[in-house]
Amino acid sequence: MRPPLVIGNWKMHRTASEALALSRSIRKGLSVARQVEVSLAPPFTALGTVRDIIKGSPILLAGQNVYWEPEGAYTGEISAKMLAEIGCAFIIVGHSERRRLFHESDEAIAKKISAALGAGLRPILCIGEAFPQRQKGLTNQVLARQLRRALKGLGKNAIRNIEIAYEPVWAIGTGRNATPDQVGDAHRLIRRTLGHLFDENRAEQTRILYGGSVRPDNAAELAAVDGVNGLLVGGASLKAPDFLRIIRCFIPARR
Set 97, 104, 163, 167: catalytic member? 167
Residue 95: CB partners within 8 Å, gap ≥ 6? Answer: 9, 64, 65, 126, 167
Q: Look at the chain and report how many structural domains it folds into.
A: 1
Q: Is the distance from CB of 59 to CB of 40 less than 8 angstroms?
A: yes
Set 37, 95, 129, 187: catalytic member? 95
Residue 255 pLDDT > 50, yes or no?
no
* Model pLDDT for residues 156-204, shown as the tens digit of each residue: 999 999 999 999 998 887 767 899 999 999 999 999 999 999 999 999 9
CATH code, 170: 3.20.20.70
Q: What is the pTM of this model?
A: 0.96
Q: For residue 41, which phi and psi values (nearest 5 degrees)?
A: -120, 85
Q: Does 29 reside within a domain?
A: no
Residues spanned by the domain of 204: 65-236
Q: Does 205 reside within a domain?
A: yes
* Model pLDDT for residues 30-57, shown as the tens digit of each residue: 976 578 999 999 999 999 999 999 999 9
* Model pLDDT for residues 19-35, shown as the tens digit of each residue: 999 999 999 999 765 78
Question: What's the CA gap between 36 and 215, in Å, rounded?
Answer: 17
Q: Does 208 reside within a domain?
A: yes
Q: Does 141 reside within a domain?
A: yes
Per-residue pLDDT at 33: 59
Q: Does 177 reside within a domain?
A: yes
* Model pLDDT for residues 64-111, shown as the tens digit of each residue: 999 999 999 999 999 999 999 999 999 999 999 999 999 999 999 999
Q: Does 50 reside within a domain?
A: no
| Position 66, amino acid | V
Instruction: State yes or no: is 95 an active-site residue.
Output: yes
Instruction: State yes or no: is 107 an active-site residue.
Output: no
Q: Does 243 reside within a domain?
A: no
Q: Does 245 reside within a domain?
A: no
